[in-house]
Amino acid sequence: MPTKFFRSVILSTSLLLGVVACEAQTSQVKKEPIQMTSPASGSEMFNSYCAPCHGKEGKGNGPAAASLKIPPANLAELAKKNEGKFPADHVANILRSGVGGAHGSPDMPVWGPLFSQVSGRNDSIVQIRISNLIHYIESLQVK
């Protein structure tokens, strides 16, 4: 029968291995510089910029979603949650300026300044990017 000392060593070792296993399963979002995409293609921008967190269908289940402190929104239900009307102006404001607790946090970027960066600081191109991305997100809405 193990002594009290050996039991506490075995218990401590088991707890330590459990913590190491949990930390090994915790993944982090890899942050990379924004890549150029076509401002004319809402789907290309969505797949490059949004899908890693929000998922290809916008349901909040992208490959990086589990690593975020705040779960990504289900973008496919924006109209459903807004009495059937897609909130384009609200989405545009979030893209341009962020929103407390999500875009603008360390995990979720504010896209307006990033779109400006990849658009050569051209506000017209930034507007085209935001408009085309909004139209694409609107196309993802569940009926």
User: What range does the domain containing 80 cover?
Assistant: 42-139
Question: Structurally, how many domains does the chain consist of?
Answer: 1
pLDDT in tens, 4-51: 433 333 333 333 333 333 333 345 667 778 899 999 999 999 999 999
Single pTM value for the model: 0.76
Q: Coil, strand, or helix at residue 64?
A: coil
Residue 126 is assigned to a structural domain of this protein: yes
CATH of the domain at 46: 1.10.760
Q: Is residue 92 part of a domain?
A: yes
For residue 34, tell me if it sits in a domain.
Answer: no
In 3-142, alpha helices (H): 4-25, 42-45, 51-54, 88-97, 111-118, 123-139
Domain-located, residue 14: no
